[in-house]
Amino acid sequence: MPSSKDSELPQVDPRWYQDGLRFDCTACGNCCRDHGEYTYVYVSDADLTKLSAELRISEDEFDSVHCDHEDGWRFLKRSGSQCVFLDEKGLCKVYEARPKQCSTWPFWKDNLVSLDVWSGPVKKCCPGINEGELTSADDAERIARETEDWYEGE
């Protein structure tokens, strides 16, 4: 996310998710569709390598066919209002090679800001929020930092 170069996670005192967060992917594909600011899927050099290998094409071909560029960032092209790799059943066609941003959803810095965000716009986008396996607060923050560090590395 090009909006922040600060890896520090905002803290609410006390940490509202101190007992952990529940998330269970329902494979609905909603996270692969436009939701206001949840629109772009950024592609790092490492993601480009994985994705092009998955599709058995060169990195240059993947970049020219499947990516757009803006302000120094590379991101996946859209197919209408959804990711080009979302199939008709709502499943990811490149799941094993999906970008870091996709693999760390919903544990992003911006989603951990408050319960209102987590249970509001994030839950509206994702029916798996507050369901399934418990992720500890430390693990949620570690995942969020990994994602932020990934962006800073770009």
CA dihedral 70, 73, 74, 76 (to 10 degrees): -70
Contact in structure between 99 and 42 (CB atoms under 8 Å): yes
Report pLDDT for 13: 41
Q: What is the mean pLDDT of residues 66-86?
A: 92
pLDDT digits (tens, 9 = 90+) for 2-41: 444 445 555 544 589 999 999 999 999 998 988 766 678 8
Contact in structure between 142 and 20 (CB atoms under 8 Å): no
The residue with greater pLDDT, 34 or 126, is 126
- Residue 152: pLDDT band by 50, 70, 90 thresholds? confident
Report pLDDT for 12: 47
pTM of the model: 0.82
Q: Among residues of the chain, what percentage have pLDDT more than 90?
A: 68
**Could you state, in order of their start, the residue ranges of all structural domains in the chain?**
21-153
| Three-state SS at 133 | strand
